[in-house]
Amino acid sequence: MLVTLAQGPARWKVQLSDCPCPGEDARPRGQIGEVELSTSSPLAGAPGEPTAPHILPVLCCVCPPGSRALQGRTRGSRGCLLEQALFGLLFGVDASLLESPVILCGLPDGQLCCVVLKTLVTSRLSPGDPKALVKILHHLEEPVVFIGALKTESLAEDAEDTHPDCLVALGHDGRILAIKASWDEAGTLVPELREYQLPGPVLCAACGGSGRVYHSTPSELCVVDLARGRASGRGPGGLPSLLCPAGLGICSVVTLSVSCEVPEGGARLLALSARGRLMTCSLDLSSEMPCPTRAAVADTGQKIKELLSGIGTVSERVSSLKKAVDQRNKALTCLNEAMNVSCVLLASREGPRPISCTTTTAWSRLQPQDVLTATCRLENNSGLSLDRGWALCVQVLTSTPASDTDVAGSATTYTIPVDRLGPGDRREVTLPLGPGEDGALDLPLTVSCALHYSLREVVGGALAPSESFKDPFLDECPPDVLPEQDGICLPLSKHTVDMLQCLRFPGLATPHTQPSGLLGPVSDSVDTFLGSLGPRSEPAGPASLRAKFLPPSVATIKVSAELLRAALGDSHTAGTSLGCATLQWLLAENTALDVVRSRRLSSVQGVAPDGTDLHLTIREVAVTHLCTAGPMQTVEIQVESSSLASLCSAHHAVIGRLQRMVVEQAAQSSSPPDLRVQYLRQIHINHETLLREVQALRDRLCTEDEASSCGTAERLLQVYAQLRSPSLLLL
């Protein structure tokens, strides 16, 4: 009979056919039986088409003692006899009674299956359950490359059964399975299965005499001895607990056969190398092969533990090194981005900046008073991103108090993390400017915006060594390698908040546009009730008395109409007078600009932050005594208020705008007209005289008593009024 193992679409099939007799047709006569093997995982391939396996399966025919089914030509690697006890334990009573050969199949998925040959023949005549014909003995979990049998027990003088008593299956990666018949503690005969691990991958294997198994790897031909159960302290029939491969000094053997035994425990092998060389190897294995003692095994276990501990330590160190390298790479990436942002900002000091910050002011209603707020808008119009480490720093610097010039203004700095600001993104921050707890708002205020990059936040973590990792380079560096400033500061903008931006105009706002609570300063409910009673309950505070009994303070500034026309440019259209255009220019940063422009006003009355009224008037006048050619057209800017503090703040704001305008127009304007120098000289002399009188009056106030100082103070106010309205013209 011919036994074949064929690959189907999803399963392996064992097929049995009649062999032709000599002289007949070489083709098989016909199929006798067929059964499918149960595979643990389907074979890879297209549906309906089997795929050639990477490792071919293994077939072996095992017969019980006394069976005549196994011919001499099939003995060896493809067929063997097993002792009766082991044969019955593995394949069952039916196979023993029928004395049927058994086909062992080692599959590429690691299964070791068996099929009783005579039951496969009879299944064609009386078909039953196909699964009952196949028995899975074991699963090696790796491709089976060899199945064989050998004798492990030493022969006694009166021994009759000299057949192999151990079945061996070898996997591709070196896992070997040995099965023997053994007695358990209850005295019952049971199969003993033991797995070992040998060097791999296994190219070929063969079973020899005296319980030896030869197996070949790409680097060595090894031999192991399974007949050492007695030497390891086990009872008869036991398997050794440990296999010790011994190298024979031959490599890359792809086919191996034990040709015959030689006297005194030797062996002769017939081997074919990977290069096609056929070799005969005579071995002398009479001496005891080395096998480790129990002490050596214990030492080996201890060394394995130490090696595993060392591997764990190395793994932790590698993990720490990788973490440190990742931190430094991230820090270098962040530093590179910060350098690019710095270069972009420093290269664009003139003209529009790719990363800018603009500041606007507005009044907000917060209990129990109105608060002036500044909104800083950070815009990123570059192709770079502001990531971790960047922060927007806003510094609010108050002016020096007029009452005490020795005291410097206070500065408050706000730091807002940017987190992430990508290209085209913007972010707004609103901050309170005042008034403070005392109700005063010291004007002008300077709001400075800058970008700050924290080196310690980004680089500090990468430079600080962890407990498990210390870089020798860091040990040589000083402990503080970062600069003292701890970061990079890039100025963005500086904005001055003066009186003209803080003025409110409740008389201009319509009921739909003016929010409630912002019509003027906050008034107390008691004052409102007393005011409703009539003239008998007029308030008697210092501000009310000053407004009632003293005339308002006035400051006047005259500017050349030609200079204003050149500075205003397109904003001065034909339909708008020069006075209206000038007022719009002065209130360009005030929230009431749209109302002033729509109504074309040249005079407006507003409310200062302290609640006092302030009147701005712009009119065109002619100056007749200054130019030799005749009258000059000028624009007179008049500021009027009952509060000296509000008047000075507004006057300072107007002067600041005019100074910046003159600087911008100085390089573009033509030569000034012919002036009367003697008239200018006389004005200058009068101005110097008034300044000397102011100094004398202030010195006299320090020495006079309270009764005589009233006249001096009144004269000082008159001189100040003359100085605030000089006859000079700004050309």
Question: Does the residue 335 lie in any domain?
Answer: no
Describe the strand order of the beta sheet including 553-560 as a list of residue ranges. 603-607, 613-623, 632-641, 553-560, 729-730
Q: Are residues 1 and 113 in the same domain?
A: yes
Residues 573, 578, 582, 583: what is their CA dihedral angle, to the nearest 10 degrees? -100
Percent pLDDT > 90 in the chain is 24
Identify whether residues 132 and 30 lie together within a single domain: yes
pLDDT score, position 619: 92
- Tell me the pLDDT tens digit for each residue of 219-278: 999 999 888 544 444 544 578 888 889 888 888 899 999 876 665 667 888 999 999 999
Look at residue 169 and tell me whether its pLDDT is greater than 90: yes
Examine the domain organization and report whether 186 and 202 are in the same domain: no
> Does residue 516 form part of some domain?
no
* Together in a domain, 417 and 432: yes
Residue 296: pLDDT band (50, 70, 90) is low
Is residue 403 very low, low, confident or very high in pLDDT (cuts 50, 70, 90)?
Answer: low
Which is more confidently placed, 207 or 512? 207
Q: 453 and 404, same structural domain?
A: yes
* Domain span at 147: 1-39+55-192
Lookup: tokens for 500:
């003209």
Number of domains in the chain: 4
Q: Is it the case that residue 539 has pLDDT exceeding 60? A: no
Q: Which two tokens stand for residue 697?
A: 């009056």
Are 255 and 186 in a shared domain?
no
Shared domain for 127 and 158, answered yes or no, is: yes
Q: Among 34-43, 329-338, 542-551, 650-659, which range has the highest average pLDDT?
A: 650-659
Point out the least confidently predicted range of 158-172, 206-220, 367-381, 522-536: 522-536
Cα–Cα distances (Å) from 287 to 198, 220, 224, in that order, read 22, 20, 14
Mean pLDDT for the stretch of residues 612-638: 87
List, for residues 299-321, the tens digit of each pLDDT value. 777 888 888 888 888 888 888 88
**Which pLDDT score is estimated for 376?**
94
Q: Which of 453, 474, 497 is the last residue of a domain?
A: 497
Asked whether 374 and 361 are in contact (CB, 8 A), the reply is yes
pLDDT at 604 over 50: yes
Q: What is the dihedral of CA 217, 223, 228, 231, to 10 degrees?
A: -100
Rounded to whole angstroms, the Cα distance separating 602 from 596 reads 8
Q: How confident is the model at residue 176 (pLDDT cuts 50, 70, 90)?
A: very high
Residue 267: inside a domain = yes
pLDDT more than 70, % of the chain = 77
- Say if residue 28 is in the same domain as residue 107: yes
Nearest CA to 174 out of 148, 205, 201, 203 is that of 201
Over the stretch 31-69, which tens digit does the pLDDT of each residue have? 888 888 876 554 444 555 555 567 889 999 999 887 766
Q: Identify which has the larger pLDDT, 523 or 66.
A: 66
Provide mean pLDDT across the span 491-515.
78
Confidence (pLDDT) at 596: 87
CATH number of the domain that 457 lies in? 2.60.40
Check pLDDT > 60 for residue 73. Answer: no
Q: Is the pLDDT score of 382 beyond 50?
A: yes
Taking residue 680's Cβ as centre, other Cβ atoms within 10 Å add up to 14
pTM here?
0.53
| pLDDT (average), residues 689-693 | 92
pLDDT at residue 572 greater than cutoff 80: no
